[in-house]
Amino acid sequence: MMASQHSVARPLLIGPNQFLIGYQAQREWAWLIACAFFFGKVGAGTFLLSYLIGFKLGALVGLLAVGVLKTTAHLLFLGRPARFLYALRCWRTSWISRGIHGIGIFLVFGALYLSPEVVSFVPDGLARACGVVAALAAVLVMVYDGFVMKASKGIPFWDSYLMPVLVLCYALLGGTTVTLALQVISGEATESSLEWLQVAMLVLNLVLIGVVVFSARVRSAAAQLATALLTRGPLGAVFLVIAVGVGIVATGALVTVSLASGSHTALVAGAMTDLVGHFFVFFSVLRAGLHPPIRPLALTGMRLVGAAR
Amino acid sequence: MTRWGMVIDLDRCVGCNACTVACKIENGTPPDHYWARVYTEETGTFPETKTTYVPALCNHCADAPCVTVCPTGASHTREDGIVLVNDKICIGCRACMMACPYSNRFFLRNGALETGYHGERTDYEDYKWSLFTEGTVTKCTFCAHRVDDGLLPACVVTCPTEARVFGDLEDEDSDVSVLIRERGGTQPLSELGTNPSVYYVEGR
């Protein structure tokens, strides 16, 4: 007599204190880290692009986004925020430490670069030199988050050199849209080269998201499962609808309208949709971070249950 | 140079969780912090199924990614290979938790130690929890305080089936080295290159 075969619904994703072999979702880096990443990239990107076109208001907004919003998000997240200066110690090995050095240099030299607008005792030559240092530090602030993710060996989905590339490209896109929106709001003529850079970055970021998702599908089982989370269920809705749909498709449509008609309203609206998408891209990527099982899983009979996120 | 390590015999483990409890008693870990724990692995399809109990703890990796990413140096490796967290300089960024492929680190949230397991804190909890700092990351210490006194880790001493063996991986004649050599010990997720100091043997 043949034995009946039952496929047991064992969870692939296991929750905290559920002592089974399976994938475990990281639950620590969420809203506040997503905010810190977002403000850091957009702020540093805005500073860099505004610096390159000599738009001081944009540089100031970028500096404040990093100096106030990013640092506040980080300090709110830390378990022991009063000790944050200890994080300067391990710059030889830790990307977080390098990033904090970069933020410090960026804030000090960025403030010196902008200081002639407020005080008269800083020579213009010194301010220009400080601007160069601040711009270089801004690049580090833009990109270090990606290296922090790359260094997270416990999360195979993040452990890819595509992360710093994605982070850098999003920082450039965010910086471009915010700089253009600020030019419109402040009544200045928009920089046409930035408008075309915005279009190019939108296309590049869409391609990059595709590359990140598809490369993860062939890299490891944990990365593959992370992309399944990204494209299905509640997180899939956030990623596909808000991050990609609003952040890239809607932004692209609004930017096209803006370029075709010269509509400033469409340009500012495009900046808003881009920023919303930008935040949720990295929020989704953070939430899709999965730790691999400590032993290889026999996938027979297993399904995506227990994935309450 | 000593490098402390552990070999866990999966054929011997019966999943009694005595190690889990012994660790809790010895280290007084707060709720939800299971430095030693036992995973249940179910394989096969009914009626040909198998349950394996897989004890887990910090692997005290020789190339520990948690140490590399730590921005403060709080996560560090001792000369004898034991990986520890200095809670006096940990800032609670939790990068080590993202870097650890084995989910063997735990974040002690602010306020977590205000009440005991069952409401008001006991004298035992008062004493043990005074050794922890809220807002920092905790992990298995290989019972470094016992090892320094020449004792075995609590989980090893308490195991009723002697599934856990502790010793010096650098000593070719130690029990752990012999077990690894003769039984083909494997490291968890060895493909990641972290070189764990915990090995598993099975399939006698």
pLDDT band at A241 (very low <50, low <70, confident <90, very high): very high
> What per-residue confidence (pLDDT) applies to A186?
94
> What per-residue confidence (pLDDT) applies to A304?
47
Q: Do A94 and B109 touch (CB under 8 A)?
A: no
Mean pLDDT calculated for residue range A168-182? 96
Six token digits for residue A149: 């993710």
Kindly tell me if the per-residue pLDDT of A3 is higher than 70.
no
Six token digits for residue B2: 């000593």
Kindly tell me if the per-residue pLDDT of A309 is higher than 50.
no
Nearest to B65 among A153, A294, A298 (CB): A153
d(CA A69, CA A65): 5
Q: Do A28 and B98 touch (CB under 8 A)?
A: yes
Please tell me which residue of chain A has the smallest CA distance to B40. Answer: A20
Nearest to B37 among A19, A87, A158 (CB): A19
Percent of chain A with pLDDT over 90: 77
Pairs across A and B, CB distance < 8 A? 151
- What is the least distance, in Å, from the CA of A223 to any CA of chain B? 13
Exposed / middle / buried, residue A75 (Cβ in 10 Å: 0-12, 13-18, 19+)? middle
> What per-residue confidence (pLDDT) applies to A9?
55
**Residue A96 touches chain B, beta carbons under 8 Å:** yes
Give per-residue pLDDT as tens, B31-52: 999 999 999 988 888 888 889 9
Q: Do B98 and A155 touch (CB under 8 A)?
A: yes
Selected residues 203-232 of chain A with any CB under 8 Å from a CB in chain B:
none
- What is the least distance, in Å, from the CA of A293 to any CA of chain B? 8
Q: Do A78 and B92 touch (CB under 8 A)?
A: yes
Lowest pLDDT segment from A167-181, A226-240, B135-149: A226-240
Q: Which one has a higher pLDDT value, A305 or B65?
A: B65
Lowest pLDDT segment from A76-80, A117-121, A275-279, B3-7: A117-121
Give per-residue pLDDT as tens, B149-195: 999 999 999 999 999 999 999 999 999 999 999 999 999 999 999 99
With helix as H, strand as E and coil as C, how does chain A read? CCCCCECCCEECEECCCCCECCEEECCCCCHHHHHHHHHHHHHHHHHHHHHHHCCHHHHHHHHHHHHHHHHHHHHHHCCCHHHHHHHHCCCCCCHHHHHHHHHHHHHHHHHHHHHHHCCCCCCHHHHHHHHHHHHHHHHHHHHHHHHHHHCCCCCCCCCCCHHHHHHHHHHHHHHHHHHHHHHHHCCCCCCHHHHHHHHHHHHHHHHHHHHHHHHHHHHCHHHHHHHHHHHCHHHHHHHHHHHHHHHHHHHHHHHHHHHHHCCHHHHHHHHHHHHHHHHHHHHHHHHCCEECCCCCCCCCCEECCCCCC
The candidate with the shortest Cα–Cα distance to B108, out of B86, B137, B141, B72, is: B137
- Determine contact, residues A12/A225, Cβ cutoff 8 Å: yes
Q: Do A96 and B100 touch (CB under 8 A)?
A: no
- Determine contact, residues A245/A222, Cβ cutoff 8 Å: no
Q: What is the DSSP letter of B192?
A: G
CB contact set of A256 (below 8 Å; sequence gap of 6+)? A199
Q: What is the DSSP letter of B15?
A: -
Which residues in chain A are contacts of B103 at CB distance < 8 A?
24, 154, 291
Mean pLDDT calculated for residue range B123-147? 97
Interface test with A, best of B17, B103, B106, B199 (most A CBs within 10 A): B103
d(CA B21, CA B23): 5
Six token digits for residue B31: 């709720």
Interface test with B, best of A28, A91, A220 (most B CBs within 10 A): A28
Q: Which one has a higher pLDDT value, A117 or A52?
A: A52
Q: pTM (2 decimals)?
A: 0.91
Q: Do B69 and A6 touch (CB under 8 A)?
A: no
- Determine contact, residues A137/A105, Cβ cutoff 8 Å: yes
> What per-residue confidence (pLDDT) applies to B143?
98
Nearest to B69 among A17, A94, A295 (CB): A94
Kindly tell me if the per-residue pLDDT of A305 is higher than 50.
no
ipTM rounded to 2 decimals: 0.93
Average pLDDT, chain B: 95
Please tell me which residue of chain A has the smallest CA distance to B36. Answer: A19
d(CA A10, CA A301): 7
Amino acid (1-letter code) at residue A184:
V
Lowest pLDDT segment from A6-15, A296-305, B172-181, B185-194: A296-305
Which residues in chain B are contacts of A155 at CB distance < 8 A?
98
- What is the least distance, in Å, from the CA of B161 to any CA of chain A? 20
**Residue A192 touches chain B, beta carbons under 8 Å:** no
- Determine contact, residues B4/B168, Cβ cutoff 8 Å: yes
> What per-residue confidence (pLDDT) applies to A303?
47
> What per-residue confidence (pLDDT) applies to A10?
62
Mean pLDDT calculated for residue range B107-129? 94
Lowest pLDDT segment from A2-11, A40-49, B55-64, B87-96: A2-11
Give per-residue pLDDT as tens, A69-121: 999 999 999 999 999 999 999 999 999 999 999 999 999 999 999 998 777 77
d(CA A251, CA B167): 60
Kindly tell me if the per-residue pLDDT of A195 is higher than 50.
yes
Lowest pLDDT segment from A118-122, A137-141, A256-260, B76-80: A118-122
d(CA B132, CA B110): 11
pLDDT band at A6 (very low <50, low <70, confident <90, very high): very low
